[in-house]
Structure 1
């Protein structure tokens, strides 16, 4: 298994723990629709949150959240619409990014960006 895949899985696990500690129920992990994947789908107080987790071992090429570009946002929007219909969700939604950066000594920083984006037409 490639090291970057392990890093990504570790980041998603940390993000999941972070959301659960904040009182969210995790509805799904790595949910796919077509070619799109939503890393985490969380729910709390009638709010459904679609979470993109970005994990990096360095910020040399940019912060993790900077890698959630417009094309990825559109994929998340399309997948979220399918999920909303599937679950018959009638309340608020939000798109968050959880950015995790590891240091060489395996410590990390977590930046939870609520309402990180709203896909545009």
Structure 2
């Protein structure tokens, strides 16, 4: 597996653990539909949350939220629509982005952008 793929999987697991620590419930991880993949699907306070996780080893090239373009958002929404249909979900939803940042000391920091798009 390529190093960036391993970093991405680690970031997804760290983000899931971080969100669980904040009271979120993990529903699904790496949900695929067609060409789209939703990194994490969580529940929190009665809301179904579709989470895109972005890993950055610094902010020199920009922040996580800057790397979810219109094409990616469209794919995520399409996959989320399919998940909602499969689960017959009738309550509120939202789309979040969680940035996982590794600092020079090797520590991981998180930044959550709630209701980032739709």
Same fold (TM > 0.5): yes
The Cα RMSD (Å) is 1.0
> 1:63 and 1:44 mapped to 2: Cα distance?
25
Deviating beyond 6 angstroms after TM superposition, the runs of 4 or more aligned structure 1 residues are none
**Structure 2: unaligned runs, 5 residues or longer:** none
> 2:81 and 2:56 mapped to 1: Cα distance?
28
Q: Does 1:108 align with 2:108?
A: yes
Structure 2 equivalent of residue 4 of structure 1: 4
Structure 1 equivalent of residue 59 of structure 2: 59
Q: Describe how 1:30-109 pairs up with structure 2 within 5 A.
A: 30-109=30-109
Shift of 1:50: 0.2
Structure 2 equivalent of residue 17 of structure 1: 17
SS in 2 for 1:80: helix
Contact 1:31 1:37 in 2 (8 A): yes
Residues 64-119 of structure 1, C-alpha deviations (whole Å, 9 max, x = no match): 2210111100000000000000000000000000001112321122101100111x
Residues 16-73 of structure 1, C-alpha deviations (whole Å, 9 max, x = no match): 0111112111110000000000000001232100000000112221112210111100
Contact 1:53 1:97 in 2 (8 A): yes
> 1:65 and 1:93 mapped to 2: Cα distance?
19
> 2:106 and 2:7 mapped to 1: Cα distance?
10
TM-score (norm 1): 0.92
Select the structure that is richer in strand. Answer: 2
